[in-house]
């Protein structure tokens, strides 16, 4: 045990990217701030890389405030080296390369993470790759395999097939014997999704995805829809589902309300569910991390699962990273490279 084990001299201040008020990407600026102190059950990580995710953009726009107690600095996933352990925290991870799911604070040279939300980075995996894994891996694993209880041989429809979530869903689906159909906004993105491992890719701008799903499944429909759009997509998702199908909504980029037929849910025994990961309890995230460590992390160690990284930016160019995220002109993840 350690009260505050420090194998290296840790500076009092650090560079971090934050914003004073909500707005466009330009409000993100680098500035000097205090290095955070790890509390009980926490580790201080010298950040080498941080993933950029859609929730970061929504937070910066003023629509997704950090949960109580979370840092205001954006950033929900990091990779780096453990440099200190908080009070009453096992210090076995000191000096180890880890990646972690965090509630905020990732866009910085140092970040605090719960020890039980960390995963040791296997040899051969770069810090940028490790930083691009936690948010999408935790989200897809929970929603596809826990909430939608995906089973071998089932077919899944994933919207946003070339997003960070979409590419992770394709890769996990392939590794766990699921047939993944995706929707994308261009033929180029459809081609990229197929290359990553999707069974079929539908250009939703040129084809009606409901009709295409029915055609591709011989009228049966899919067992699961993983939806990041919400709004008007919900009744269309229901039309894509087979009897006893499950729709899991994880974002509402297309709106927060939908009009659906309750009778259709009853008649076809459909399940409509959804979740947000960031506000969940530390205990829940620890259990999720433990399951991922057992079920998925060995595939990361062997190289069978690795993230698709579209672009990398230095920390001080976080605004450019957000502008690219908002443009939608990407396939996979965006990473900020910060330290060693």
- Residue 257 is assigned to a structural domain of this protein: yes
**Which structural domain, as residue segments, surrounds residue 324?**
13-133+278-337
Domain boundary among 274, 307, 327: 274
pTM above the 0.85 mark? yes
* Residue 328 and residue 288 share a domain: yes
Q: Interior CA angle at 12 toward 7 and 17, to 5°?
A: 110
- Within a 13 Å sphere around the CA of 127, how many CA atoms are in the beta-carbon half? 19
CATH number, position 231: 3.40.50.720
- Residue 8 is assigned to a structural domain of this protein: no
Q: 224 has which bridge partners?
A: 156, 246
Domain count, the chain: 2
Residues 299/306, Cβ–Cβ less than 8 Å: no
- Residue 7 is assigned to a structural domain of this protein: no
* Residue 170 and residue 152 share a domain: yes
* Residue 326 and residue 215 share a domain: no
- Residue 34 is assigned to a structural domain of this protein: yes
The whole-angstrom separation of Cα 63 and Cα 158 is 24
CATH number, position 124: 3.90.180.10
Domain boundary among 274, 304, 320: 274
pLDDT, one tens digit for every residue, the chain (340 residues)? 344 444 468 999 999 999 999 999 999 999 999 999 999 999 999 999 999 999 999 999 999 999 999 999 999 999 999 999 999 898 899 999 999 999 999 999 999 999 999 999 999 999 999 999 999 999 999 999 999 999 999 999 999 999 999 999 999 999 999 999 999 999 999 999 999 999 999 999 999 999 999 999 999 999 999 999 999 999 999 999 999 999 999 999 899 999 999 999 999 999 999 999 999 999 999 999 999 999 999 999 999 999 999 999 999 999 999 999 999 999 999 999 997 6
The whole-angstrom separation of Cα 29 and Cα 158 is 34
* Residue 313 and residue 197 share a domain: no
Beta-sheet strands, E only, within 217-308: 222-227, 241-249, 271-274
- Residue 177 is assigned to a structural domain of this protein: yes
What pLDDT, on a 0 to 100 scale, did the predictor assign at position 2? Answer: 41
């Amino acid at each position: 045990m350690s009260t505050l084990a420090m194998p290296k001299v840790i500076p009092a201040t650090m560079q971090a990217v934050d914003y004073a008020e909500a707005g466009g990407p330009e409000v993100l600026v680098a500035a000097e701030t205090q290095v955070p102190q790890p509390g009980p059950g926490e580790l201080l990580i010298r950040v080498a890389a941080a993933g950029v995710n859609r929730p970061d953009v929504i937070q910066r726009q003023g629509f997704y405030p950090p949960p109580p107690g979370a840092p205001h600095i954006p950033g929900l996933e990091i990779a780096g080296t453990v440099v200190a352990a908080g009070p009453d925290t096992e210090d076995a991870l000191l000096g180890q390369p880890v990646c972690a799911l965090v509630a905020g604070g990732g866009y910085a040279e140092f970040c605090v993470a719960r020890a039980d939300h960390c995963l040791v980075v296997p040899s051969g995996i770069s810090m940028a790759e490790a930083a691009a894994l936690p948010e999408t891996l935790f989200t897809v694993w929970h929603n596809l395999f826990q909430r939608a209880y995906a089973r071998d041989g089932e077919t899944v429809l994933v919207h946003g097939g070339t997003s960070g979530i979409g590419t992770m869903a394709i890769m996990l689906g392939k590794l766990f014997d699921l047939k993944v159909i995706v929707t994308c906004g261009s033929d180029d993105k459809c081609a990229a999704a197929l290359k990553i491992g999707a069974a079929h890719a539908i250009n939703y701008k040129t084809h009606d995805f409901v009709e295409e799903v029915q055609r591709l499944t011989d009228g049966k429909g899919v067992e699961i829809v993983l939806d990041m759009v919400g709004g008007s997509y919900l009744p269309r998702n229901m039309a894509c589902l087979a009897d006893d199908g499950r729709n899991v909504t994880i974002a509402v980029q297309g709106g927060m309300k939908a009009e659906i037929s309750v009778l259709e849910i009853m008649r076809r025994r459909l399940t409509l569910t959804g979740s947000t990961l960031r506000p969940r309890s530390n205990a829940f995230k620890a259990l999720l991390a433990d399951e991922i460590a057992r079920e998925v992390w060995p595939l990361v160690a062997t190289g069978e699962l690795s993230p698709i990284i579209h672009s990398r930016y230095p920390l001080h160019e976080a605004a450019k990273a957000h502008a690219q995220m908002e443009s939608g002109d990407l396939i996979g993840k965006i990473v900020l490279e910060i330290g060693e």
